[in-house]
Amino acid sequence: MMRLPKLAVSSPETIEEATGLLAELGDRAVVLSGGTDLIPNLKRHQLTVDTVVLLGRIDDLRGIRADGESIHIGARTTLREIVDSELVPPVVARAAGQVASPTIQNQGTIGGNLCVDTRCFWLNVTDLWRQAAEPCLKADGDTCWVAPAKQHCWAVSSSDLAPVLVALDASITLVGSGGTRTIPLADLYVDDGIAYLTKASEEIITSVAIPIDPGLDTTYHKLRRRGSVDFPILGVAAAIRRGDAGVCTEARIILGAVASAPLRAPEAEEALVGQPLGPDSIAAAAEAARKLARPLYNTDLTSRYRKRMVPVFVKRALEELAAG
Ligand SMILES: Cc1cc2nc3c(=O)[nH]c(=O)nc-3n(C[C@H](O)[C@H](O)[C@H](O)COP(=O)(O)OP(=O)(O)OC[C@H]3O[C@@H](n4cnc5c(N)ncnc54)[C@H](O)[C@@H]3O)c2cc1C
């Protein structure tokens, strides 16, 4: 049985108290929301901290509300609350409902989902197993065992909600000791398996805002080995706006789980804009996404298979939108 290391636990009641603690403790502390990602990672000794700062008692971080322009979701809102909400866009509820399993959705939160650690099968193993080889780059070693020639960590972005919310042009509000700022969600991510978030470690996501945009047609398709529990090994989020005669005026195609950040596919989007959403434009977009995506052999199923699935899943997503 894997055990948690010895940790101090703080349970602040306000956002200010939490950010104060995080600023004071620096890299020694980490935020725990639902704990469904963090606790297994702590048990596997993937990170070394001596304190966890629980967000569970901060009521201001919960709830879903609409203000006419956007839907605001508190960072501590659970995935299950999102699945059951009538306020959130259906594509968000659908993606939340595909995370892990119902039990984990009851516990896991949107803030944790957006910050979920990048994954790699050289890393997500027990300490003992990791010690059998030289530790990988993300485990403070010198080599990335996925692509040893490069000093870069390729661990995979594994959030289901991130590609969907980037496609919806969502923004997040962050609070730290330096104050409050709101940024596009896309700007939270960096294509680097180690430093995969731009936020300071002492900053807390307090809420997510999704623009209310009834003209945008959206969908999300996820590839995983089993129909439940498994992380995505490919996710395709598509958002399309159509004008007169069904011509596409705006497109966002975001690929999940093929890089260390949600990957925007601009050439796939260009293949759609100015065209009706039909077989030719869909085939061109699917091919452009295939060329862009370079999944590596670092998560479930082979990289070759995952690459071959990229155009298949882009096509499926766009055909669903074309069928209306
Ligand atoms: C068996 C299993 C299957 C899973 N399958 C999936 C899947 O299919 N898809 C998927 O997307 N995820 C999956 N997960 C991961 C996880 O359950 C979800 O992503 C969940 O939403 C994480 O939320 P949490 O609140 O539990 O995060 P936590 O574990 O509490 O935190 C995760 C990370 O986010 C940080 N964090 C949390 N909240 C905040 C905040 N408000 N501000 C700043 N940082 C914060 C934490 O410090 C930590 O680094 C799976 C996990 C397990 C164990």
Tens digit of each residue's pLDDT (9 = 90 or more) over 40-85: 999 999 998 999 999 999 999 999 999 999 999 999 999 999 999 9
The residue type found at 126 is T
Q: Which residues, 6 or more positions from 217, have their beta carbon under 8 angstroms from its beta carbon?
A: 239, 240, 241, 242, 321, 324
Pocket test for ligand 1, best of 37, 46, 206 (most atoms within 8 A of CB): 37
Does 133 reside within a domain?
no
Any ligand 1 atom below 6 A from CB of 15: no
**Same domain? 111 vs 220:** no
What's the mean pLDDT when you consider all of the chain?
96
**Same domain? 261 vs 173:** no
**Same domain? 193 vs 244:** no
What's the CA-to-centroid distance between 153 and ligand 1, angstroms? 20
**Same domain? 249 vs 308:** yes
Last residue of a domain, one of 194, 211, 228: 211
Query: 292 near 265, Cβ under 8 Å?
Result: yes
pLDDT for 134 beyond 90: no
Residue owning the nearest CA to atom 17 of ligand 1: 36
Any ligand 1 atom below 6 A from CB of 185: no
Instruction: Give me the phi and psi of 213, to 5 degrees please.
Output: -145, 80
| Distance from C-alpha of 69 to C-alpha of 27, rounded to nearest angstrom | 37
**Same domain? 89 vs 232:** no
Across 31-38, average pLDDT: 98
The model's pTM: 0.97
What are the strands, taking DSSP E only, across the chain?
8-10, 29-32, 51-54, 64-66, 70-74, 171-176, 179-184, 204-211, 216-223, 234-242, 248-256, 263-264
Pairing mode, if any, of strands 216-223 and 234-242? antiparallel
Look at residue 128 in the predicted model and tell me its pLDDT.
84
Tokens 């999300």, residue located: 220
Q: What is the largest CA-CA distance in the chain?
A: 63
Any ligand 1 atom below 6 A from CB of 79: yes
Structure tokens at 137: 């780059």
Does 35 reside within a domain?
no
User: What residues does 4 pair with on adjacent strands?
Assistant: none
Across 193-215, average pLDDT: 97
Across 1-6, average pLDDT: 89
Does 267 reside within a domain?
yes
The domain that holds 245 is classified in CATH as 3.30.390.50
| Distance from C-alpha of 60 to C-alpha of 15, rounded to nearest angstrom | 8
Last residue of a domain, one of 178, 196, 211: 211
Look at residue 10 in the predicted model and tell me its pLDDT.
97
Last residue of a domain, one of 182, 211, 240: 211
Q: How confident is the model at residue 131 (pLDDT cuts 50, 70, 90)?
A: confident
**Same domain? 199 vs 269:** no
Q: How confident is the model at residue 1 (pLDDT cuts 50, 70, 90)?
A: confident
Look at residue 130 in the predicted model and tell me its pLDDT.
83
The domain that holds 64 is classified in CATH as 3.30.465.10
**Same domain? 247 vs 180:** no
Any ligand 1 atom below 6 A from CB of 205: yes
Q: How confident is the model at residue 272 (pLDDT cuts 50, 70, 90)?
A: very high
What's the CA-to-centroid distance between 47 and ligand 1, angstroms? 15
pLDDT for 167 beyond 90: yes
Does 10 reside within a domain?
no
Helix ranges (DSSP H) in the chain: 15-25, 38-43, 79-84, 90-96, 102-107, 110-114, 127-131, 161-167, 266-272, 279-292, 303-322
| Distance from C-alpha of 81 to C-alpha of 83, rounded to nearest angstrom | 5
Tens digit of each residue's pLDDT (9 = 90 or more) over 112-122: 999 999 999 99
Any ligand 1 atom below 6 A from CB of 38: yes
Does 33 reside within a domain?
no
Tens digit of each residue's pLDDT (9 = 90 or more) over 216-271: 999 999 999 999 999 999 999 999 999 988 999 999 999 999 999 999 999 999 99
For 287, the domain range is 216-322
Does 83 reside within a domain?
yes
What's the CA-to-centroid distance between 59 and ligand 1, angstroms? 19
Does 77 reside within a domain?
yes
Q: For the ranges 36-40, 123-127, 213-217, 273-277, which has the lowest average pLDDT?
A: 123-127
What's the CA-to-centroid distance between 324 and ligand 1, angstroms? 32
Tens digit of each residue's pLDDT (9 = 90 or more) over 293-306: 999 999 999 999 99
Query: 165 near 41, Cβ under 8 Å?
Result: no
Any ligand 1 atom below 6 A from CB of 318: no
**Same domain? 191 vs 225:** no
**Same domain? 289 vs 197:** no
Q: How many domains does the chain have?
A: 2
Q: How confident is the model at residue 88 (pLDDT cuts 50, 70, 90)?
A: very high
